[in-house]
Amino acid sequence: MDFEEFVLAASTADLRECGAARRHADLLEYRLDLAAAGLDALDSEYELPVLVTNRVEEEGGHAQAGPTRLDALSRAIEKPAVEAVDIELVTLRSGRGQHVVDRAREHGVTVVVSTHDFTGTPDRQQLRDLLDAASARGDVAKLAVTAEDVTDVLDLLSVTAEATRAGQTVATMAMGEAGRHSRVVAPLYGSRIGYAPLDRERATAPGQYDLETFRTLYESLREKT
């Protein structure tokens, strides 16, 4: 996938939800760290492309850090349903996970390099540095921060626009109630991926809209800009 345009991903631990998700989603984010079916679910064909994520605990997931988690990501890349893979920037910076990136390159799978900050929003220079570092290692730089107020959201949107003008492909969002609106606004500033569960009760990050609400709000904003 090239992510040249905005893509809405349905975050799910059950790929059988594809039928319901495709009414509003462009992509399935398969949360391997939450899934009961594991890698076996990726042996089937789906009407939507799959982004596979095996999120480590320190960044909001349930997978234990270590070689087993990364090996599962590497094996997932070989599945025909998978068109993109997510790996954390902190993992790559620690010297681990490069084999996942290399395997993705071999199979033509897009690499999303992500950072999740559940404590706050770094200053603008730090935000830009994180996007630069992720862009240097992958195809899409994903940055999710936690907003305490509207100033944090404004900083994130400004940096999103700057990175996009610089030619980077980014996916940005502010988590939490104060940043909820950023999820549907950030695409107007250049963010290329949004994430939403089918039902809000199954949110995988603070402040997520459900899939239908996200699509409705985004399309309404896009029509007015």
Residue 206 has pLDDT above 90, yes or no: no
Q: What pLDDT shows up at residue 163?
A: 98
Sign of CA dihedral 168, 91, 53, 156: negative
Is the confidence at residue 112, as pLDDT, over 80? yes
- DSSP collapsed to 3 states, the chain: CCCCCCEEEEEECCHHHHHHHCCCCCEEEEECCCCCCHHHHHHCCCCCCEEEECCEHHHCCCECCCHHHHHHHHHHHCCCCEEEEEEEHHHHHCCCCHHHHHHHHHCCCEEEEEEECCCCCCCHHHHHHHHHHHHHHCCEEEEEEECCCHHHHHHHHHHHHHHHHCCCCEEEEEECHHHCCHHHHHHHHCCCEEEECCCHHHCCCCCCCCHHHHHHHHHHHHHCC
Residue 200 pLDDT exceeds 80 = no
Question: Does residue 154 register a pLDDT over 80?
Answer: yes
For the annotated catalytic residues, the residue numbers are: 116, 142
Stretch 68-89: mean pLDDT: 97
Mean pLDDT of 15-39: 96
Q: What is the pLDDT of residue 201?
A: 74
- How does residue 207 score in pLDDT terms, banded at 50, 70 and 90? confident
Q: Are 188 and 223 in contact (CB under 8 A)?
A: no
- With 80 as the cut, is the pLDDT of residue 225 above it? no
- Per-residue pLDDT band at 203 (split at 50, 70, 90): confident
- Euclidean distance between CA atoms 183 and 173, whole angstroms: 5
pLDDT of residue 157: 98
**pLDDT tens digits, residue range 158-182?**
999 999 999 999 999 999 999 999 9
How high is the pLDDT of residue 65?
87
Residues 114, 89: contact at Cβ < 8 Å? yes
* Predicted pLDDT at 205: 74
Contacts of 123 (CB under 8 A, 6+ apart): 155
pLDDT over 90 at 18, yes or no: yes
Rounded-to-integer distance, Cα 11 and Cα 29, Å: 5
Number of alpha carbons in the 13 Å side-chain half-sphere of residue 178: 14
Q: For residue 85, is pLDDT > 80?
A: yes
pLDDT given at position 54: 97
For domain 7-223, give the fold.
TIM Barrel (3.20.20)
**Structure confidence at residue 134 (pLDDT):** 98
**Whole-number Å distance between alpha carbons of 145 and 141:** 13
What average pLDDT does this structure show over 72-81? 96
Rounded distance between C-alpha atoms, residue 185 and residue 166, angstroms: 20
Domains in the chain: boundaries: 7-223
